[in-house]
Amino acid sequence: METKETVLVTGGSGFIASYCIIALLNQGFNVKATLRSLKKADLVTQMLKEGGVRSVDGLSFAEADLRNESSWEKAVEGCQYVIHVASPTPQTEAKTEDDFVIPAKNGVLFVMRAAKKAGVKRVVLTSAFGAIGMGTVKTTPYTEEDWTVLNNTVFPYQKSKTISEKAAWDFIKNEGDGIELAVVNPTGVLGPVLSDDFSHSIQNIKLMLNGGMKACPKLISGYVDVRDVADLHVKAMTLPQASGQRFIAVAGEGLSLLDIAKVLRKNLGEKAADVPRRELPNWLINLLAIFNPKLKAVKPYLGMIKQASSQKAITRLGWKPRSTEEAIVATAISLIKFGIIK
């Protein structure tokens, strides 16, 4: 009987990571998940069961931290693959640009070095659309050929994703020696939440449902369901043609926040009673941003239309994402179910 291969998934309690673990366990892999503290292990196991994992027999945990290089060598021992998801997210306590960029970049290099030393076959890095489509304006959809141009319009989180992804490719080029890399660049991630730790994009749906967003800023971007993001990570890990490639994860055309609001009203009836019905003009947001730090963060994106293409993942890897509408509705239903929306 062949022994099952083991995959290290970093940042195991995170939204994307937990769905990667579910997909891997359900496909028969052993998974070692890293956590900053093993105290979270029971919570993660609970989340995985909530997400439909059939058995957690092949699951183990290791303690590792993006700020501590030696913790990664021990974590990656005995693993054939690594899915590196852990990175400071927009919700972290990070205050300065360096708080995002340094742990993200160092974390990637710590993991790559440890993976090479342990004889790992392939690393799949979770990057972001933030490493592809920021700092530039394009009328055609962004593709994997595009890179964010680091100028003063690029937020620290997007900067950290760009710099850390480039560091991974540089590592492969200069000292890779036999280790392969594939990268997944998701757009806004939606989908069923498993706990109160979820992606940045879901905050907007939460705000709409609980009446915290009275009108929508004019923002258009691409979205994708977290279950499809996990599926793309597994394909990027296992398929030979994924080696050395980046893959954008997006489901169809970009949507505005008002489009999302309409989907919620259409599918949720009275549960969507507080969802906004109109868009705010840009001039008003610019004015209100003087007094409101949350709106100030939105300002650089106003009127921005970021379309992206996932043609490469679809044609090369046979990836089939579900519709954005399905992802939005699943997100909303899960927020209600968990009591996150009263």
Residue 20 in domain = yes
Residue 329 in domain = no
Number of domains composing the chain: 1
Determine the length of the chain: 342
- The whole-angstrom separation of Cα 203 and Cα 332 is 11
Residue 281 in domain = no
Residue 334 in domain = no
The model's pTM is 0.94
Helices (H), 210-322: 226-238, 257-268, 282-288, 293-298, 311-317
Q: Could you say which of 32, 116, 161, 235 is catalytic?
A: 161
Q: One digit per residue, pLDDT tens: the chain, 342 residues? A: 456 899 999 999 999 999 999 999 999 999 999 999 999 999 999 999 999 999 999 999 999 998 889 999 999 999 999 999 998 766 566 678 888 899 899 999 999 999 999 999 999 999 999 999 999 988 899 999 999 999 988 888 899 999 999 999 999 999 988 899 999 999 999 999 998 777 778 999 999 999 999 999 888 999 999 999 999 999 999 999 999 999 999 999 999 999 999 999 999 999 999 999 999 888 888 888 888 877 777 777 777 788 999 999 999 999 999 999 999 999 999 999 988 887
Residue 108 in domain = yes
Judge residue 113's burial from the number of C-beta atoms within 10 Å of its C-beta, 0-12 exposed, 13-18 middle, 19 or more buried: middle
pLDDT at 198: 78
Residue 141 in domain = yes
Q: Containing domain of residue 136, as a range?
A: 6-190+223-250+309-321
Residue 214 in domain = no
Residue 50 in domain = yes
- The whole-angstrom separation of Cα 165 and Cα 104 is 9
188-190 and 180-186 beta bridge pairing: unpaired
Q: What is the CATH classification number for the domain harbouring 111?
A: 3.40.50.720
Q: Is 161 a catalytic residue?
A: yes
| Contact (CB, 8 A) for 150 and 135 | yes
